Amino acid sequence: MSYADGSLPALQEVVAAGSGAVEGYEALNKALAACKTFTSSSAGHKVTGSVGAMSFPAVGNRSSAYAITINIEGVNAGADIVIFQTGTYVAAVLYEDIGTPDLQQVQAFVKEALEKIEGTPTVTPTTF
């Protein structure tokens, strides 16, 4: 895992539709469910972490949420990823922060992503 400018918090949102979108959702969900720990390196620094399912309100037609803990040479960070399907669209929202990500902030970003996909009015979260 690397960061373009090395700063947190960070937010990523990916939306897909069409051929292969549902299969991509299922593959990502399967990979996240199977991964428990990981070790890698980033810019010569050892990175370790763990992945686990997290409690999160249902989103769209179906959804899953995972909490990721990351340690880079003694610095602890976390990432919450929520993947969901609504209609013919699938999406992933990833929010990373030092320590543990703020769950209310994650929920606000996921709600905004869902509203954009469904074409309903959105209110942009005021904090980041």
The per-residue pLDDT for 123 is 64
- What pTM, to 2 d.p., does this model score? 0.85
Place of tokens 């996921």: 110
Residue 102 DSSP SS3: coil
Give residue-wise pLDDT tens across range 16-53. Answer: 998 889 999 999 999 999 999 999 987 888 899 999 99
Instruction: Report whether pLDDT(4) > 60.
Output: no
Domains and CATH numbers, the chain: 10-117 (3.30.530)
Nearest to 70 by CA among 87, 48, 53: 48
**pLDDT band per the 50, 70, 90 thresholds, residue 125:** low
Q: Name residue 62's beta-bridge partners.
A: 85
Q: How far is Cα 72 from Cα 50, in angstroms, rounded to an integer?
A: 12
